[in-house]
Structure 1
Amino acid sequence: MNLKRIFTRANSGVVQAPAEGGFSFVEVCVAIVVSVMFGAAAFATNQQLLTTLRAQKETTAATMMLQERIESFRATAWSNIADKDYVKNNIVRNSTTSEATLGSLTETITVSGYVTTAGAAGYPTDGSNVNQWVRDDGHPTGHTTDHNDNLATNYNLLKVDILLTWNGPNGRTRTRELAQIFGKGNIGQ
């Protein structure tokens, strides 16, 4: 190869047309892929955010429902809390205002003896039965699953457990529960 010949041609004074600037097809494809990846990531982030917001909305509704139920029990006389028919007809049968957002809701309310009149531990230690109701899609006004007609006479303290189970976002089963102890001397006895 003759270097003199190469340098001579470079300095010969021949004017060449300027090179056209532009993007190659590969660069355009890379730009499209990056844009699509960004859009997909933004969509996935938004989808996760909406799922999280729905889950939080349901958790808030469940907490409000538990509060509504426990307030119903707090406003009830102690002897009525022990009465299975009173609780079913005046508390369990009534739906709450915040339960509509909970999908496939199952509510289980259990009233059990907590401390016997002799001062011994109550359910489940003493082997007694409880008053228990379940509300779900098949039983919107609730149905009794167990009962004890002697709660008012055999116990000084009653425990009310409320368990909510529902299907949350993505079909995930979610639960919330609340327990409260009631004693003689509650409103109206």
Structure 2
Amino acid sequence: MYITIKSLLEKGLNKSQIARDVKHDWKTVDKIIKRIKSNQSFPIKKPHPQKLDTYREQIIEWMEQGLSGILIYQKLREIEVKISYSAIKRFLAGIKRKENIFVRIHTEPAEEAQVDFGYIGLTTDINGKRRKTWVFNMKLSYSRLDYYEKTYDQTVETFINCHKNAFKYFSGIPKTLRIDNLKAAILEANFYEPIFKQLYKDFSALTES
């Protein structure tokens, strides 16, 4: 708000006009204007420490090992860290912006993608209803480019459709898919494993044709 008020003041607006534009009472605006005119900088609030800062080094280590956001979320849940999956994603994005994360790459471009599918708890859908939620993640092993999709069921059809959406997002299909969390997904969803494998095999054959 400080910068906005300063900009409006420089345009020649008076205190009442600025208060109306920024939707704050004139007393608050007046205090800020006095600071501006006396060349006082506006106090910047220090960011609050994040809950995940305690686990920062461990999270960076997992990222360097190539673990996806889903697996990192599940590992934190295993050590009883109560945090939402969306908070994990924001924290990981912040680390990627600030840290030089090195991941050992042993594949060629378009050769391999890593697939995860995991439960992340209850989230709110577009209708405001709390529902059980899973996240599908496909990560290209070479570029580390990610595709995420939130789902509200664990059906084979949904799992396969997530693949199709990921391929469309990447504008291509990698030669190999490495399923890191599939066993857990099958057990949790109560899939009949031989049937699941056959359906997935049929889908794989279609993508290769």
| TM-score bracket, shorter-length normalisation | under 0.3
User: Does 1 or 2 have the higher relative contact order (CA < 8 Å, sep 6+)?
Assistant: 1
Q: Which has the greater radius of gyration? A: 1
Structure with the higher strand share, 1 or 2:
1
